[in-house]
Structure 1
């Protein structure tokens, strides 16, 4: 079986300081994977390096090929704070952007493309907002629209950077359920995530990073106090009825 993603000796340096260093792992299809680590650990940098959006050393192969050869099969949802929400564009046009990798530059969007836009908006519960300006929506609604754009692309590998930050509970539930559906369809989904209390509920596997790869494996194997303490460079305390994890710095 060909690995969906294979990362070997991947490193990114900013002015000789490592942002991520010597990252190695491989992933097979049909997994929902959380990327977890403290602020400044290199989680977003790792995604961008994998996608070729950061200058890096090492190698990345996706479906056994170079990233540029399989762009159509990869969907990326950046952090909301990286998006210009004042840009005057309608919700349906944002989602249509997910079809651009399938539409030759000399052609207009087809009836099928428009149908896929409608279908994607329906999945995230945002069809009634299709004619709204994207900047008029709440944070959760905006995030759902960008998830719809990712769905419209019909990709096989998804990267989402902090998709649950600053959104309402309803939007979070809709998004995580859609990500599970993608996983169940054999897609592979990476999610940069910060809420440790939900990783057991949300993910099949965890990639723990603090500039270097601390551990990678099933949630059952990796979600352990000693491994989390190593990741966050602090002690770990369990609290509450569900034994949620709290990190206490040394």
Structure 2
């Protein structure tokens, strides 16, 4: 199997408290991978550690057989929307153009081809008509589509998305999910922190299930099992009596 990320005994601590404990994984290329677990399980910490955004306490991480510093241009990141200042006065098209900055020298300026690509990415997410709007004027779903367009403009190989479907309308969710599938079919690798368990089996090829340590990893149908869910959510998983995981309610 082609490997996108190799992780050996990764641990991360905040204020002397373990956020992630001894995680070892070999993750594939060209897959759509969901990262699930209860609140406080370390899901966001996990992807930030992989990208080198926060220091690790111990362990090693190899991305595309290189260190993170050598492949940073090949990685696109879409953070949670509530971590972004939506009051900052910037136009939608300029937000997407930021995705081109890793390909522009520090003394250079965006070229015509960069602007054309940014507009093309806005078209792909159905937001071209909003290009002259301030980002803060958009709805939550529209904002998320703009940040997806920024990631597309980077032309990365690996994509990390932190709860991209949280608090958005169903139209935006469907557009974003379709784009993620297209990216996978183009040979990209996508990792998605996700909280809605009812969509897991529809959305992801593989799952990483965390609760500060690795609970399970593998094909979705092999991981999304009651025994794993009860371990991850510490027995707080309840099921509607139709027998479907899609009807799961989790109490955190």
| TM more than 0.5 | yes
**In structure 2, how many angstroms separate the alpha carbons of the residues matched to 1:144 and 1:234?**
35
**In structure 1, how many angstroms separate the alpha carbons of the residues matched to 2:128 and 2:164?**
20
Partner of 1:21: 21
Alignment of 1:37-186 (within 5 A): 37-56=37-56, 57-186=58-187
Between 24-33 and 238-247, report the one with greater CA deviation: 238-247
Report how far residue 189 of structure 1 moved. Answer: 0.3
**In structure 1, how many angstroms separate the alpha carbons of the residues matched to 2:123 and 2:236?**
44
How many residue pairs were aligned?
Answer: 249
**In structure 2, how many angstroms separate the alpha carbons of the residues matched to 1:132 and 1:246?**
38
What are the ranges of 5 or more consecutive residues in structure 1 without an aligned counterpart? Answer: none
**In structure 2, how many angstroms separate the alpha carbons of the residues matched to 1:235 and 1:144?**
33
**In structure 2, how many angstroms separate the alpha carbons of the residues matched to 1:106 and 1:248?**
51
**CA offsets 1:188-214 (integer angstroms, 9 cap, x no match):** 100000000100000000000000010
Report how far residue 245 of structure 1 moved. Answer: 2.1
Partner of 1:35: 35
Q: Determine whether 1:245 maps to 2:248.
A: yes
**In structure 2, how many angstroms separate the alpha carbons of the residues matched to 1:125 and 1:186?**
22
What TM-score, normalized to structure 1?
A: 0.96
Report how far residue 3 of structure 1 moved. Answer: 1.4
Q: What SS does the corresponding residue of 1:64 show, helix, strand or coil?
A: coil
8 Å CA contact 1:77–1:146 kept in 2: the answer is yes
**In structure 1, how many angstroms separate the alpha carbons of the residues matched to 2:134 and 2:86?**
9
Q: Displaced runs of 4+ in structure 1, greater than 4 A?
A: none
Task: Flag the 1:248–1:39 CA change in 2: closer, same or farther, 3 A.
Answer: closer
Report how far residue 241 of structure 1 moved. Answer: 5.0
What are the ranges of 5 or more consecutive residues in structure 2 without an aligned counterpart? Answer: none
Q: What SS does the corresponding residue of 2:160 show, helix, strand or coil?
A: strand
What TM-score, normalized to structure 2?
A: 0.96
